[in-house]
Chains A and B, each alone.
Chain A
Amino acid sequence: MLIQVENLVHTYAAGTPLAHMALRGVSLEISPGERVGILGPTGSGKSTLVQHLAGLLEPTAGQVRLDGVAAHERTSEARARRLRVGMAFQYPEDQIFEQTVFQEVAFGPRNLKLDEAEISARTRWALEMVGLDPAEVEHRVPFSLSGGEMRRVALADILSMRPEVLILDEPTAGLDPRGRRELLGRVLEWHETARMTLIVVSHNLDELARVAERAVVLAAGRVVADGPVRQVLSDGEHLRAAGLDVPQPVALLQALREAGWAVRTDRLGPEEAASEIVQAWTLREGDDGLRRDLPGPRESGA
């Protein structure tokens, strides 16, 4: 599904003393199958923007179109398109309410008035997609699961609707490093196998570097950068102006580059940053350099 956002403006509590303009003219286009990361500090408009993409808000001005149809309209055409967008809010497990895991995940498909066999097939498929064994969990009370498992059940809720566009708002908040890695691995798998468009909102730049191919930076309700994730996340000037930092590996590469090293600075992860440094080191020092002892950390400011 093609998503088009044109001069989108959103004002909360318009016409009251508390009026607040959250989006100030945002334009962007997201093609089917893209993996887009949206970043920006608190209050930059990220959550407002993604709720518009899901047709959950009405624009104050401008518009959002899903395959050409205004996303928020009360027509069957618009509703059909909204159903193809799945959105997970922050801490989606807070919205779990059914008595068993099966009932919870089956809730969406049941609302679609599908027959029981299809409901059950979709529910089991969705549980498998999030890495839970349907036979093991479907009769359990959701609240007896661990936090990480509940997060996965909440995501299965959304997958059971078979969305073409999946929007995840801070999907790994509160998870430990292993939980984060596993979840991101799964999200990439869904993108591969189901050819979903993936839109991920996150503060965590290392995370966006892993899942996104394109990054959009919002600041004060406007798009201040939009491009390939490597380019955007290594652009310290734009990120800092938006109140964000570059990922740590980029900060290191930039410091080395300023000191005259021939390194590229758009290596976002520790692994690729390290190999970039090794390569440049070998060029500088030759093979002998590897064996030369480096000085220890200096006392000042370590």
Chain B
Amino acid sequence: MPPFIETQGLEHAYPLEGGGQVVALRGVDLTIKRGEFVALVGPNGSGKSTLARHLNGLLAPTAGQVWVEGMLTSDAGNLWAVRQRVGMVFQNPDNQLVASTVEEDVAFGPENLGFPPGEIRRRVDEALRTVGLADYRTHPPQMLSGGQKQLVAVAGALATRPACIVFDEPTSMLDPPGRRQILETIQHLNAAERITIVLITQSMEEASAARRVVVMDKGQITMDGSPEEVFGQGERLRAVGLDLPPAVEIAERLRAAGLALPRGLMTVEAVARTLC
């Protein structure tokens, strides 16, 4: 069986008005297995969002290839099937809402796929139940909180029953309760619904919830491993302009002061348990 998602030598350049170009990806080789939960982190301009847009064929490679279940995304004939497998949720929930009630908004995807009304109904109800918005079916999405609007966007992606959802900084415009809501939903989708997750985030705390962390810098992958492996290398992360999750930084400082703390403590709860 081919890998679920694979990129090989992926390059992407954006042409500039008046000539010239900006190179966003410089040869990315990445394989994502079915069921993985991958966090993609990196400084602004490192190519994260460009890479994300290649994973469901929103962009076509300047050079190199991207396959989804063995289908080449640069082949226009595959796009429909590719996008059915890989859904996207973007940063700003307001830009993703298209209808005047929550359920119509969620139905937009399956309607476009041409399903019969009964099937659309089933998918919409199921998607809304999964994100916990069943009671808000008939609400206008504009009246919901930021976190709830983002959950509507997640339900919209779910209603097409994708195997994978790519989240591009889904929490950066939300308040702490909204962030928590989205992160818990993402974890649930991965653990219970077995949906492959690619989560782009500027929050290292969020990234530490993933099972694999991929670090990008200047259009290339510079680190790739478990959160414990990646966040165990504070110096390398800081060199590309990233931080450690607060718990990891505290543990690092405690070790530097002579406390014999083990490595791999990702949360303050874990640090507290170890000390007590």
Contacts and interface: CB of A to CB of B under 8 A. Distances in A.
Query: Does B bind A?
Result: yes
Interface of A: 41-43, 144, 146-148, 173-179, 203, 206, 243-245, 247-249, 251-252, 255-256, 259, 261, 270-271, 273-275, 277-278, 281, 290-298, 301-302
Contacts of A271: 253
Contact of B270 (A43, A270, A297): A297
A42 B146 contact: yes
Nearest to A141: B17
B147 to A, nearest CB: 8
A247 B175 CA distance: 14
A178 B253 contact: no
B257 interface: yes
A294 B172 contact: no
B269 interface: yes
Interface of B: 16, 42-45, 91, 145-147, 169, 172-178, 202, 204-205, 241-243, 245-247, 249-250, 253-254, 257-262, 264-276
Contacts of B259: 277-278, 281, 290, 294
Nearest to A243: B177
A152 B205 CA distance: 26
B22 to A, nearest CB: 10
A225 to B, nearest CB: 15
A148 B247 CA distance: 27
A168 to B, nearest CB: 16
Contact of B45 (A146, A249, A270): A146
Contact of B246 (A203, A270, A301): A270
Nearest to A205: B176
B206 to A, nearest CB: 12
Contacts of B91: 174
7 contacts: A43-B145, A176-B242, A252-B271, A255-B276, A256-B275, A261-B276, A294-B261
Contacts of B45: 146-147
Contacts of A247: 246
Contacts of A147: 44-45
A148 B202 CA distance: 14
Contact of A277 (B146, B250, B270): B250
Given A176-B241, A271-B253, 17 more contacts: A42-B174, A146-B45, A173-B173, A203-B176, A244-B176, A248-B268, A273-B250, A275-B253, A290-B258, A290-B259, A291-B260, A294-B260, A294-B275, A296-B274, A297-B262, A297-B264, A297-B270
